[in-house]
Amino acid sequence: AQKITQTQPGMFVQEKEAVTLDCTYDTSDQSYGLFWYKQPSSGEMIFLIYQGSYDEQNATEGRYSLNFQKARKSANLVISASQLGDSAMYFCAMREGRYTGNQFYFGTGTSLTVIP
């Protein structure tokens, strides 16, 4: 079974609107971390936001927020007030277990296009 599932291969959003990118995960560990990365066409993976499995509040970083629904095993990324520079691939990732050195599992990504 896939550890991370991103079901939206491509998404479009009007500039200045909000958009939600979906991510579901599969783990039997009680302790894990969830991450979102942005990958522009240049190829570099840019860290956006992190949510720990024991964090009770949804993580926020500027225009990014993570809608964490533990029972549903979902960790959707919400981007508010979209900008043209937000056009990129977005990857959801998970680290299983308590050890922060564990490898990350990535989804297949969602391509976001912001329309002027």
Partner 1 sequence: DTGVSQNPRHKITKRGQNVTFRCDPISEHNRLYWYRQTLGQGPEFLTYFQNEAQLEKSRLLSDRFSAERPKGSFSTLEIQRTEQGDSAMYLCASNLGETQYFGPGTRLLVL
Q: Which of residues 83-112 bind partner 1 (CB under 8 A)?
A: 91, 93, 95, 100-101, 103-109
Stretch that binds partner 1, among 19-27, 44-52, 59-67, 69-77 (CB under 8 A): 44-52
Q: What angle do CA 98, 37, 31 make, to 5 degrees?
A: 15
Q: Which of residues 12-41 bind partner 1 (CB under 8 A)?
A: 33, 35, 37
* Cβ 17 to partner 1 shortest distance, Å: 26
Contact 34, 47 (CB under 8 A): no
Q: Which of 1, 28, 44, 57 binds partner 1 (CB under 8 A)?
A: 44
Q: Write the CA distances from 12 to 19, 31, 43, 60, integer angstroms.
A: 8, 33, 20, 22
Q: Is 64 in the site for partner 1 (CB under 8 A)?
A: no
Q: Is 52 in the site for partner 1 (CB under 8 A)?
A: yes
What's the DSSP call for residue 58?
Answer: P
What's the DSSP call for residue 18?
Answer: -
